[in-house]
């Protein structure tokens, strides 16, 4: 903590950036054209993330005149999936406090920009604002199975078809978990982590249309790969994640029962146990017939649709079961996202040691409760540790450089030598680039440790520490003291003490 505190920043909406991941689908052009045609404040920039595998050449995209100077294309190297592509996209944006994620097959409404501007005028405790999704269905017939599946997006929570997140929330949570390699559950995972980090999520008023894109008859079978993602969600968030994420549990239990009946029938027939085989066959046929009826009854009931439902209804239960078992094997034990940092940087006064304004006496240095234990835990785990501290007393002429060096040396003696010290000695009115809440100290310390700021966690006791971390792209933990303002506790990760902060950083592998 510094002895001179900057004023609390004013609340403002600020500009927003748009990120659109794509694999080059033709719908991308309509998405970008609709964005350009929307009224209201324009995005500060539009980042289209090309995630096509290989080296397919330039993305076939005609830049709308209205966005020509704002839109750019970045590449991922191909095939990483939408979670990884979105991470590349938001990290490629500059300083917009909000990132609006759109899928490349949606079209925003005409008033989207104006409504988004209103949606983002929210309290600092709001970490994300979802748009309203509309899925147009045919008026002249009942929707097909695939159309009903897509229509479910209209009621889904926190989907990134149109979801705006605070940059701070993305930084603190590490963005999207890139182990979700397909467009399924990665949005629910991020939402739960944002909520766990101290923010609330809400729904706005802006509207976006999500057309039903064409799909072949096997789409429902391929989509069963999402069962493995559900296992990952359970490992990360517990088996009740469905409730907290507002997600439907689906028919997995029935699929397992149908598949088990078929397996029993096959095993019994092989063993010559005909009665048991007949029981298994009956269970398999009854379960499959019920599943087929549930899919056909609300649909158009055409010959083609019915035939597709018949074939896929036999295939889906065993495929869903296999994908679920694959997930159980693959995700037996998983680490939380984001992974453990490489370094932890501490504020000095009020965090590592008790705050003595403009201290010149090494004997007055007193470690905060748990400081030695917390620093020792981090060192023992192999993490680098450093200090980032404002010491404007030097610039004000209240203490000498020798005094500062002696006090810092005493901190090293009491808590063990730190791997780096980054100190701003400038007076608050000099406009330097290092004084917190600016990111200079963190960038300097990270550079000296040979790591990226994204691989650091900052532990401090006031809002300037958190703001500096976020400006540098680093995560943060706030350990409040009597000096901490009430408004600084909003939308931040809080630990009651330094040991708790270290435990969060070193959290054990997740195994449920």
For 47, the enclosing helix (H) or strand (E) is strand 45-50
Q: What b/e string do you get for 166-196 counting C-beta neighbours within 10 Å, with b at 16 or more?
A: bbbbbbbbbbbbbbbbebbbbbbbbbbbbbe
Which among 163, 2, 5 has a CA at the least distance from the CA of 487?
Answer: 5
Q: Which of 103, 145, 187, 349 is catalytic?
A: 349
Cβ neighbours, 10 Å, residue 249:
9
349 is catalytic: yes
Here the tokens at position 151 are: 């229509």
Question: Taken in order 398, 402, 403, 405, is the CA torsion positive or negative?
Answer: positive
Distance of CA 150 to the CA centre of its chain: 23
Element (H, E) at 305: helix 303-330
Which one of the listed residues 347, 455, 461, 467 is annotated catalytic? 347
Distance between CA atoms of residues 339 and 236, nearest Å: 13
CA 120 to chain centre: 18
Per DSSP, what are the bridge partners of residue 64? Answer: none
Beta partners for residue 410, in sequence order: none
3-state SS of 90-105 is HHHCCCCCEEEEECCC
> Which DSSP symbol is given to 249?
-
- Minimal CA–CA distance to 398: which of 1, 96, 2? 2
The string of DSSP codes covering 209-231 is E-------TTHHHHGGGHHHHHH
**Would you call 347 a catalytic residue per the annotation?**
yes
Distance of CA 424 to the CA centre of its chain: 32
Pairing of strands 420-424, 200-209: unpaired
The length of the chain, given as a count of residues:
512
DSSP single-letter state for residue 436:
T
DSSP labels, 257-275: HHHHHHHHHHHHHHHT-HH
Is 165 exposed, middle or buried (CB count within 10 Å of its CB: 0-12, 13-18, 19+)? buried
CA nearest to 391, candidates 433, 345, 354, 422: 422
CB-neighbour burial class of residue 436 (10 A; exposed 0-12, middle 13-18, buried 19+): buried
Listed residue (249, 250, 251) closest to 240, CA to CA: 249
Catalytic residues: 347, 349
């Amino acid at each position: 903590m510094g002895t001179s505190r900057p004023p609390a920043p004013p609340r403002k909406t600020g500009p927003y950036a748009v990120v659109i991941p794509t694999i080059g689908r033709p719908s991308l052009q309509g998405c970008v054209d609709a964005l350009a045609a929307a009224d209201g404040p324009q995005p500060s920039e539009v980042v289209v993330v090309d995630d096509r595998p290989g080296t397919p050449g330039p993305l076939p995209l005609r830049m709308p005149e209205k966005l020509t100077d704002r839109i750019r294309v970045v590449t991922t190297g191909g095939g990483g999936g939408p979670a990884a592509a979105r991470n590349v996209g938001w990290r490629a944006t500059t300083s917009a406090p909000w990132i609006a994620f759109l899928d490349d097959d949606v079209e925003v409404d005409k008033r989207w920009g104006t409504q988004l501007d209103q949606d983002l005028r929210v309290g600092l405790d709001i970490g994300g604002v979802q748009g309203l999704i509309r899925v147009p269905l045919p008026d002249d017939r009942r929707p097909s199975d695939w159309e009903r599946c897509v229509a479910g997006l209209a009621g889904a929570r926190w989907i990134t078809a149109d979801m705006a997140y605070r940059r701070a929330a993305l930084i603190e949570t590490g963005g999207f978990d890139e182990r979700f390699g397909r467009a399924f559950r990665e949005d629910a995972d991020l939402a739960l982590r944002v909520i766990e980090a101290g923010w609330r999520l809400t729904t706005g008023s802006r509207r976006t249309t999500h057309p039903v894109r064409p799909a072949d008859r096997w789409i429902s079978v391929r989509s069963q790969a999402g069962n493995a993602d559900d296992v990952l969600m359970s490992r990360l968030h517990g088996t009740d994640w469905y409730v907290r994420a507002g997600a439907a549990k689906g028919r997995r239990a029935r699929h397992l029962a149908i598949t088990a009946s078929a397996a029993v029938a096959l095993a019994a027939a092989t063993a010559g146990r005909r009665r048991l085989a007949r029981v298994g066959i009956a269970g398999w046929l009854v379960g499959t017939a019920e599943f087929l009826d549930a899919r056909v009854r609300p649909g158009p009931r055409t010959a083609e649709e019915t035939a597709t439902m018949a074939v896929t209804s036999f295939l889906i239960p065993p495929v869903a079961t296999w994908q679920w078992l694959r997930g159980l094997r693959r995700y037996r034990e998983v680490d939380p996202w984001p992974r453990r940092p490489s370094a932890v940087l501490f504020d000095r006064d009020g965090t590592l040691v008790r705050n003595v304004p403009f201290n010149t006496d090494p004997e007055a240095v007193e470690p905060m409760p748990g400081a030695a234990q917390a620093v020792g835990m981090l060192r023992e785990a192999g993490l680098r540790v450093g200090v980032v501290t404002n010491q404007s007393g030097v610039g004000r002429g209240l203490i000498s450089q020798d005094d500062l060096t002696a006090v810092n040396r005493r901190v090293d003696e009491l808590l063990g030598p730190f791997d780096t010290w980054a100190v701003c000695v400038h007076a608050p009115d000099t406009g330097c680039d290092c004084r917190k809440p600016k990111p200079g100290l963190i960038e300097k310390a990270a550079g000296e440790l040979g790591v990226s700021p994204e691989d650091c966690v900052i532990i401090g006791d006031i809002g300037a520490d958190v703001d500096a971390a976020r400006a540098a792209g680093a995560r943060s933990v706030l350990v409040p003291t009597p000096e901490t303002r009430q408004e600084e506790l909003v939308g931040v990760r809080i630990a009651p003490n330094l040991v708790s902060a270290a435990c969060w950083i070193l959290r054990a592998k997740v195994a449920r």
